[in-house]
Every structure is written in C-alpha cells, then in structure tokens.
Structure 1
C-alpha cells in the first residue's frame, strides 16, 4: 500500500483554498513524544462527533528476511486473538458494541491498526489498543487456525488472480536484494513452515512503544488525548529495537523480463523503471517532477495515455501510469495496459513508451501543466473531508520518515514544478537499463469465475 505524493494534497488545501469556510477552520496537527519514545500526533477536526485512532508500527515486509516472509501480516492477524485481559475475538466484539468499526492492514513499510468510533468512546478503544501492544497471547491452536486463513487469503488474492501473480512476479524480478522482492503476504512455502514461536518473537522484536506512532484525528482535544496516551501507552516500557541494515539494491545492468502464464481474459503488460524516492523534502526536486509526469500521463479522465491509446487510437482497453515517492525503500515508476484486439503486448509497450518519449522531446505546455496541477488539487478536495484520510496521511508520512509536518511543504514543492523539469525527468529516467517488464500471457479460463473471498478474511 504505497502513497502517491499527490495523495498528500488533501492535507494542504487550506493554503490553496483559503476562501473555503470549511477548510479555513483546519488546524495543524499537534505532536508529542511520551517518555517511552512513543510518538503521539493529534489532528483536531470538530465537524462531526467522531474520532479515529490509529497505531502505526514501523515494521512490514521491508524488515523481513528469507524464510520469514509474511510474518508481519501473520502477526497482524494474531493481534485479534486475545490478550491476558481479553479473550479471542473480544477486541472486535467490544468495538462493535461501542458502535465503532475497526480493522488493520500490513504493507511493505508498516503495520497499522485503527478504530473509528463516537468521540466519547476514545478512551475505551485506546485502552484496548494499549493492552494488545503489551499483553498479546500466542495460543498454538489459534495460530494453527489463523495460518490456514492466511494461506487461503494468499490463494484468493494472489494465486488465483492473474494480476496478483503478475505484480508479484514484477517485484520479484525488479528487486534482487531488497526485501521488496518478497510479497507482503509471504511466499506460500514460508507460510506453511511458519510457527507460533516465529510470530511471538516478531512481536517481541518490533511491537514496542518506541517503534509506534499513535495518530488520533477527529472531534478531540489534543491535551486530553495526550493525557490518555500517557495513561494507557505511557506505562509500556520501551524496548531495544533490532539494528536494521540498508539492504541496498545493486545497480541494474540491463532490461529484465518476466512472463506469467495464467487463466485470464486478456493479456497485460507492466513496465517498471527504478526512480528516486523522496528522502529530502527540500532537495529532491526530481521526485515532484516525476509525480507531475505521472499525472500528465494518467492523472485525470482525459490524460495523455487514455486519450491517445484508448479513446482516440483504440490501441488499448486499459492503460495507466503510477509513481509513488513516499516509501522507506526504493520505488518504481510504472506504465501498464491491456492491448486492444489485434495489438500485441510488445506493440503496446512501444506505444506506452512513445508517450513518455513525446514528452521528453516536446515537453508539456504551460497550459497543460497548470491543468494537471489543478486536477491534482481538485481530485483531493473531498479527501480533506475525511478524518480517516487525514489520519492515514499523517501515519504514512511518519512511517516513511518524512514527518507529517512536511505535508504542506510537499504541496508547495509540487506547485513549483516547471514544464522544463517534467521534460527533464522524462528524458532521464526511462532507459532500458533500469527497466523491468512483466507480461501476462492469458490461458483459457475453462469456464472458471473468480471465487468469492473465503469467510474469515477480515484483516
């Protein structure tokens, strides 16, 4: 689950739309650090009597090693299996009785847990979340049941889905040394050999207050939230965290190709180039230009890829461009699509690359650049209305090491991107030596339809 930089626009609309009464009421987030090292960030938004609590742990697929892939996701599942104070399933039952919603998600860079509740119930869910940070229990029988659920989840989301298989193969080919090589859900063989002891050890290694960020957004008072955080999380002792190693990806020395044959209706191709990630908000200008380039290609309904290859040219039935600079590890810029009848994936590759090459040769006009920037902002207006969305932005920025206080500054940097900078990154980063191509070759479906998700795949 990586975040495009332009998704952060939701948090900067105050500066861009100051005339809006709704946005003019926005206040900056308040940030604190507890004595045990846990970061607490509070975003007050009093438009509705609700609150969102999120706890973000800085651990995910990027921290895993061979033989233990998928352990972060498996631990996420076990976090709902009881503590010394609450029985299996009681966490979800109690949140539901409060009229709230809760869930969790694991990605390459983090694992996060959330509850959406009426504001008066914040203290109750904070107590529940702190309890499982400190007191999780690991029952072998519960693990045996849950690991079967996780393996079925892998089958449903990846093994039985041609696009899931294609994306997994793309990442495995693009990254040879970096942990992004591995799927977040884990390789099936690792899941089959995972033990409850592996999960317990991972919990003890990483689930510490000094490796977590508490984000609370909604109709709350920052000082009250801080007092509650001290009461429930502040008494949990800090732990010594594992010393991480960079696991830098070696230089790619030529184009890589991978083919996936799977039952599917249509062929598909994804091209992925290694590009810079955002590390220094003030210095990394190419990151912002790449994000604008992605928007020029695929940032609105009539963007270049769709207009040229689907609507006018009829060469593809679906196209897309994607770039995310916000990540703990390295990142890719992707072009992808499904060819129309009579067009091969090889031909579509050339057509997709041709759109970038056209920008490299001719650039973009000031009019198009301004239209794209307007679209980037307008597409995020309603996200500003979501308390959950604000909490997500804060958590992702903090986990990526960029700091939530830089959200507004990133918007300013995006606004400053010039047409010349967009043309320059189109010229610089789309070479064969940094390219990985994944192609889906469809096999007959044999009358099969995708199965519905199995019962129990809540998380």
Structure 2
C-alpha cells in the first residue's frame, strides 16, 4: 500500500511495564517506563514544538535547529555529542514532525547518567556558530531536494496539504519551503531555541531496565538546574470551513500516474468521548489494514484497475487530520477513473455496511499487529512521547485499545456516510512527464519530515 494506515493504534503499550511520572520544579515532566527484560534503556527528550508552531518566512526552522543541536555546546566541540554516545556503545538520533521535535539515545543501562548529562547540557549551552550554520543549512536544502523535489509522490503529497489547508500551519512542509531555507539565518535558529527549548516545554521519557526513583534523582541532578521560562503557546489558527472540492495537479518526471484523496475528518482529542475517531481508524483497516483488505482485493486483484491502492487515518495530532485514499491506476485506466473507484468502495460501506465477521477479523489483525511493538523498549518510549505531545496521555493507551475493540459495524457505516462528501475533499493528481535528469521548471520545492541529522 502506498500510504500506511491506522496510526492511532500505534498507541499499543506494554501492559507488563510499570510507568511512573513526576514533574521537576522547573516544569519539566519525567515519565519512566520500567521494562526489565534486557539491560538496555531508551532515553528521549521531547520538545512540544514543531512545524505547526512556525510562521511564514521561517518555515523549516524547527528542523534546522534539530540539525544544529549536534553542532557543539560551551562544553562540547562540533560532533562531540555523537562521538561520546558512540564511545558509550549507544546510538542516537533525532526527528522533527509537525507537532514536536525529539532527541533520543539507546544505551546500556549503566550509561544512562552520561547521556542525561549530555542532553541537559545542550538544552541550555548550545552554540550557534554562523559558519557551522551555513554548512548545515546547505545540508538541509539538499535533503529537501532528495526527499521531495526529486520524488514525485512526495511532491504530490506536499501540494495536497498546501491546498487542503487554507490557514492552518499544517499546510507548510516540515522541512520548510526552499525560499525560506535559502533566506534563513543563524539568528532565526537561535531565537527558536531560546523561545521553545526550555524545561517547562520538554518531556523526558525513559524506557527500559531502570529504577524509576533513580531516574527521577538523575533528572533532578542534571535537568533540575536548568531554569524554566515563560513562553507563549502558538495560537491555533483554526481552519475555516471548506466549501467545495479542491484540486491540485503536479507535473513531474515519473513512471506512473498517481492520485490521492484527502477528506477532512475529526481528530482524537478525548479518548472517552470521540467515538468517530475510533470508527475511522477501523474503517481505514477495513479498506487497507491487511494483505487482502477491500481496496486491494477489489481494485488490484479482482478488477485490475489499479497497481497499488491505500487508505490511512491517524487521529493523534495537535491540529486537524485527514483520511486519505490513494493509488496508481493500471495501464488503460486513468486517475479520474481510479478516483471514482476509490470513493465507490467507501460508498459501498456507507450503503451496505460491514459484517460482524469481517469487523472481527479486521480488528483482530489491527490489534495483533500493534501488540508486537511491546517487545521494544524504544517503541514503548515512542508511543508514550507521541501521546503526550499530541495532548493525550500515555495513561490512555490501554483505553484506546479497548475503544477500538468496541467499535461496531454500525459505527463504521456511520462514519463512511458522514465524512466523505465533496465539501470535505481535496484531490491531488500526479501527471507523469518523461523520465529525464532535469526537473521541470517551476516544480514544487520540497518535502516531508526531515531526518535526523
């Protein structure tokens, strides 16, 4: 499938693990997930700031700062942070999303104190050398070229979000628009760090073979000295109502045409009350949650009108969310035809519903696939952090699983009827150009979640 489905269920959590939390006097939250099956630890620092908090003119600054976080402090030379983690036998990296920025190390449990000291240092002592920034922003621009400008599907998806959202900052790519990157300064990045990288905007998640009380003591020792500061949370910039279908076409060198349909649907904000979010997650699984789900079975294998198809939904986000249907038509078929066929499969569920037997099979597959993540202490840390950053709580993880188990055929049919009309829809289409080495003039500038560093 082209777009991975069902991310809400990425909230599965190791019930066997013991989780505790507390907050330092400076406002930094500490969450410890004890899992003693192996002598390893995942240590993560999550800052609740991402591309959604950016403004026009400095898009991509959250991701640019992520790169600069490895460029030295008052105590460490450029690159020394990563060198020290490697010397400890660990691995480390970072990632930026629309909603947050996170940094992590995976290490043997006796090395936890050392990496805590490193993270606490760069929270407050980061250096901003203009020459290092000049080199690193070129790396970011090249990353954008490789991940979006040279990738037709990524270009389409970027154009889709820029078209679907008229006001909300989700319309901007995480990596930033190329013009903003070209004009970004080291002062922009420093200002971003100074505004947001404060302990009262950070959450530490430690998962693995640790003792919670000892972790709390280490957190107090290394992060407790960092001073919290008042900051103003970004205004929501709520999206105005959409009044009709939006369409955008991208022309780029590609082997096959492609189309993606995005419907504006509810997000998950209240685990106890937001029934439709769980039904939408199950609907995505009915359409594309396993090898022979409805879209692939009908459009690829039976009717042979598509080479690939997909459906996806994730309700866990700080901002608005969309339900996606996408695919690449088979030879002799067009994107216009595939668009109608994808919508017809949702209409079929809206009209005929799903059986109890099909729903049971789908939910079993959906939930079982997520339970495997309980074998990873890093996966547990990821789920805890992502939930916290979205405004939910890691304490809701088990409840989410129960709510998904309780979804009925009537609820799935209801959301299929309710949310897939024209006024909620944005369609983005890829028109393939001949495959050449040269990008077309005026091609869209950029791409998605940046890496790492």
TM surpasses 0.5: yes
Inter-partner Cα distance in structure 2 for 1:446 and 1:63 = 37
Q: Which has the higher contact order (CA 8 A, sep 6+)?
A: 2
2:304 and 2:143 map into 1 onto residues whose CA distance is 36
Count matched residues: 440
Deviation at 1:244, TM superposition (A): 2.2
Give the corresponding residue for 1:235: 225
Give the counterpart of 2:48 among 50, 55, 58: 58
The question of whether the paired residues in 1 share the 8 Å contact of 2:92 and 2:105 is answered with: yes
Name the structure 2 match of 1:443.
Answer: 433
Q: Which runs of 4+ in 1 moved over 6 A?
A: none
Structure-2 residue corresponding to 1:130? 120
Q: Are 1:148 and 2:138 matched, yes or no?
A: yes
RMSD: 1.5
Q: Which residue of 2 aligns with 1:289?
A: 279
Shift of 1:27: 2.5
Q: Is the 8 A contact 1:2 1:326 kept in 2?
A: no
Q: Tell whether the 8 Å contact from 2:5 to 2:289 is kept in structure 1 after alignment.
A: no
Q: Which residue of 1 aligns with 2:255?
A: 265
Partner of 2:10: 7
1:234-271 per-position Cα deviation (integer Å, ceiling 9, x unaligned): 11010111232110000000000000000011000000
**Aligned-pair CA distance for 1:29:** 1.4
Q: Structure 1 residues 448, 198: CA separation in 2 closer, same or farther (over 3 Å shift)? A: closer
Q: State the partner residue of 2:340.
A: 350
Matched, 1:359 2:349: yes
- For structure 2, the 5+ residue unaligned runs are 440-449
1:29 partner SS: strand
**Candidates 155, 161, 165, aligned match of 1:171:** 161
> After superposition, where does 1:25-424 map in structure 2 within 5 Å?
26-424=16-414
Contact 1:149 1:457 in 2 (8 A): no
Q: Is the 8 A contact 2:282 2:404 kept in 1?
A: yes
CA distance in 2, matches of 1:298, 1:235: 49
Structure 1 residue runs of 5 or longer lacking an equivalent are: 15-25, 450-455
Contact 2:5 2:313 in 1 (8 A): no
In the superposition, the TM-score normalised over structure 2's length comes to: 0.95
Q: Where does residue 447 of structure 2 map in the other structure?
A: none
Q: How far has the Cα of 1:307 moved from its partner?
A: 0.5
Separation (CA, whole Å) in 2 of partners of 1:245 and 1:407: 28
TM-score for both structures, normalised by structure 1: 0.94
For 2:200 and 2:28, locate their aligned partners in 1 and report how far apart those are by CA, in whole Å.
5
Q: Distance in 1 between matches of 2:18 and 2:281?
A: 25
Work out whether residues 151 and 191 of structure 1, in 8 Å CA contact, stay in contact via their aligned partners in 2.
yes
